[in-house]
Structure 1
Amino acid sequence: MNISVIGCGYVGTTTALMFCELGYQVVAVEKDSKKLAMLQQGKLPFHEPGIDSLLIKHLHRGSLVFTGDIEEGIAHSKIIYITVGTPSLPDGSSDLSFIEEVSRQIGAAQNDYKAVVIKSTVPLGTVDKVREWIGKAQKRPLPVDLVVNPEFLREGSALYDTMHPDRIVIGSDNPEAAETVKQLFHSMSCPIIVTDCNTAQLIKYTANAFLATKISFINEIGRVCDAYGANIEEVASGVGLDHRIGPHFLRAGIGWGGSCFPKDIAALINMGNNNGINLLIVQSAQQVNQDQIGYFIDRLEGELHGLNNKTVSIYGISFKPETDDIRESPALKVIAEVQRRGGTVAAYDPMVFDKHPELKLPGVRVARNMEDAWKGSDCFFLITEWDQFSKIDWGQVMQEMRTPLVLDGRNVLDARKLRSLGFRYYGIGRKTGIIHE
């Protein structure tokens, strides 16, 4: 069976390679000429462990073809996956312009039956819009079925998540179309949930909202730990042993970012507002996450007695390790807030600046190695827990910093060791003492 995938970002490229691994012939459509050229040469336009070798493998085999011609992709198969972006608009709603564009192109090029599978994360009700857009663009009435197959990928482990999913969710109003898509995954052993379109979409939004809420919750408890000198890691461990709660997503820190949680939380809140539903818990999770940056910066400002004429070294710009993605990265918000309060910033990331030479951070001194960022600095502020940061020679750091202050935005550094060396160390909820003395 042949499959077409339209949109070659994280989700689209990973999805295309998954289907190649499952034995299908795939045509992947990408309209960005620069990105397309890289993919055709076997080069990823983003960083994602393990995908580069798989890309080369299937290009050489001929089981994967990249094209900028969407008509070629539409003609290639009866199953067409839409994996284009749906970024947030200022009001929190989803920008469906890319979805609309692709839908109209599918309709205009359609010459026989198609099953159009929406893998992009879209708000409930979008399926009806896609059906309408396709229908209006058709040269003559042709049958089309709409199916929803949401993605549950984690950047940094997208390939593993695709090949070893916890579950596969398929939504459609046509049982035959749902069964056709279900059969694509016949060799996978995970549970497959077949339901209607709106339910399938809401499963995705609910999953991300719950995980984000869990992180925000433990971050609030971390503040309580700071106030009373309790240990958030022991609290999380004790709570996580309850099988009803579990240990995952209970690490306190600077908060969540990335391309999924912020966008999906905002979209879910917007969907609720559009229907007169005030999603208080989800809104609170969003607010706690927004406030978490200020919580850390307040600590920083207090320890340095103001940020004027102070230099803060930011370690990690991507929103999580093993990715070059900086969308909604806490680091960018920290940088902006430090600068707003009068401080200057030096920044280091082992990947972002090399992968994105076009990235401009006004007023930020970009360090090309770890040592350059901390020299003469008043604070070593870890934002992203890249593995190489665990191998730092802290004795050297102590000698070369102006002020021996460490803020650990991920609670991953050895607090006892740093304090024994003479650093003032602060994470969140790691027995840092009373805040309101």
Structure 2
Amino acid sequence: MGMTILLGLFAIGIVIGMPVAIALGIAALAAFFVEGLPTLIAFQRIGSGISTFSLLAIPFFIFAGELMLHGGIANRLVQFATALVGSRRGGLGIVNVFSSMLFGGISGSAVADTSALGSILIPVMKKEGYRADYAVNVTVTSSIAGIMIPPSHNMILYAVAAGGGISISKLFMAGVVPGVIMCLLLGLATWLVAIKHGYPAEPFPGWRVVGKTAMRAIPGFFTAVIIVGGVLSGVFTVTESGAIGVAYALIITGFVYRELNWAGFIAAVKQSAKTTALVMLLVGCASAYGYMLAFYRVPDALAGMITSITDNPIMVLLLINVMLLIAGMIMDMAALILICTPIFLPLAVQFGMDPIQFGMVLMMNLGLGLCTPPVGSCLFVGCAIGGVKIEKAVMTIWPFYLAILTALLLTTYVPAVSLTLPNLVFGGS
């Protein structure tokens, strides 16, 4: 009865449009009450869920991303990408993917990537004769680079949800190769679709222009270098690197680029505070909900159900991917990281997958969920910017989905894709 209430109330809350954090909290409290457990324990779990030092890095990463969004860094990265790769067929589409790879590695946010680059590139692509749905699809799907390429606050959430025993530095390194492979495959899909529709190629401006745009973009790009480099070198903790990244972003956007005005700064502060509050409430409520999932042995039950279907490791990992993809289509990413990690991580490890590798599989699965209806936030933002109906965009987005799914399968079944770089940097087998 208690498990039915726990799962049922949460499902009802999601269906009626209740915020995910509230639905998690109400379902957990109801289950505590039914089982006769002291409700004080539930609130203790909520408090302990957010009392983790690593989580302090999240508001810094979010704030740094907002500063970059309002401070001109995205514009300079787009100018550099246009000069470097814009001369190919469908050049502006390839520029979109390459810009996402650069900006995503700085902001760490897929939604910020879609908002910043979409606002710049989608109108330009439409003006140059590209179909609006093509412009939106390229922007939306390439935004997942912000989740995979470090720094990524979602990887911090994964490390916390996994019990804190996973190195965030290794997670950062593990995301680089899968993220780059995904962007290369998206670039290939972008080029092939551009050939099919006969989209134009931009003239190559010359290496001198490439060099000039690179010099303008480098100060902003160094935000990511400072954050990631500080963590990998051991000079800073993840939290300290986030704080230093914010200070550096303020200096670059306010005094070097001089595009961050007072109104932009206030907007960045407000949005960062709002997003941080939502994330922390979600983490706390998910902690109480996860306590009851463990109480009812839901992870063991799900593992038993999957292994009763098949004990073939290839099929088990495929089933895990399918479940994560479906979940990503109907729920927010941060909530799913907190809920799905304790459920699927032990099963994946049981069938030979490294926890670092599973983290990358989880990120890419749930990142794809941001691009799919009915609750894909990146898809909504991109369609709103491009003035395209969601159903129209989804009808033509399949080549880009296929590119991401190919990268996902490589990450799932070829451990070296995600593990080689962290093993080279930190040692390991």
TM bucket (normalised to shorter chain) is: under 0.3
Structure 2 length as normaliser, TM-score? 0.24
Of structures 1 and 2, the larger Rg is shown by 1
The structure that is strand-richer by fraction is: 1
Structure 1 length as normaliser, TM-score? 0.23
If asked which structure has higher relative contact order (CA below 8 Å, sep 6+), I would say 2
The structure that is helix-richer by fraction is: 2
